[in-house]
Amino acid sequence: MANFVLVHGAWHGGWCYRDTARALRAAGHTVHTPTHSGVGERAHQSAENITLETHIRDVCGCIEAEELQDVILCGHSYGGMVITGVADRMPSRIKALVYLDAFVPDHGQSLTDLLRIALPPEVAAGFLGAFHGTALENHSGLMAPIPAEAFGIKAENRAWVDRRCVGQPLATFEMPLLLKGAGAAVPQRLYILADGWDPSPFRHFAAKVDGQPGWRVTKLASSHDVMVDMPAELAAELMTLG
């Protein structure tokens, strides 16, 4: 049986993997869904000085505390930034990396850098304007969540997602990811593209890694929040790595 660590994206929490985790556990796997500092049930810890590095340490701490080995580490969206950092710090514990409609950064890149690369200039400007506008509005340094509807999430699930998402520090999006290159030792990488919504920056990353050694790319006809709209299908795809 496999050890899964499922890492959520921006504004979410471990709650978003509820149904996927249930399916994996029913099949006998061990599943952890850590929540980043400042969001989800840890929203009371929110502060503008939380960074990407904080969230990388959150996930490393989970893996260390649970004494996990041979981890299948899945990151959704912003979580791709996080799992890349985690793999660089503890590659010997990671069996496979799964980028779930996620950013795939190189050394020195921030999420805002990747948006500028992956989207047409006018679309990227819209996203970045939303990032900075809501953070400046209340002088809070927190970016308000983008509504579920914008990510194509099924109508019946939007209220739940919008209700649970909270603001996230702008610094997490603007901090460059610093890598030593140790993550290259992780033997397997899977990119899952959510192929049911647009404008998606993640088509860029799926195309970039397609055909590269050690990578496999697959598609699910889903909104951006695959774990919310297609939890059983996601669990089945993850179990191909177990």
Beta strands in the chain (DSSP E): 3-7, 30-32, 71-76, 94-100, 142-143, 168-169, 188-194, 215-220
Q: Is 233 exposed, middle or buried (0-12, 13-18, 19+ CB in 10 A)?
A: middle
- Residues whose CB falls within 8 Å of the CB of residue 141, separated by 6 or more in sequence, listed in order: 48, 49, 135, 169, 170, 171
Q: Give residue 40's region: left, alpha or beta (phi > 0; psi -120 to 50).
A: left
In the set 37, 77, 110, 222, the catalytic residue is: 77
Q: Residue 191 has which token pair?
A: 């990119």
What is the DSSP secondary structure assignment for residue 21, as one 8-state letter?
Answer: H
- What is the rounded distance in angstroms from the CA atom of residue 2 to the CA atom of residue 210? 25
81-86 contacts, C-beta under 8 A, 24 or more apart: 81/52, 81/105, 81/111, 81/177, 82/7, 82/36, 82/52, 82/55, 82/56, 83/7, 83/59, 84/177, 84/179, 84/183, 85/52, 85/53, 85/56, 85/177, 85/179, 86/7, 86/56, 86/59, 86/60
DSSP 146: P
Active site residue 77: yes
Q: Which residues are catalytic?
A: 77
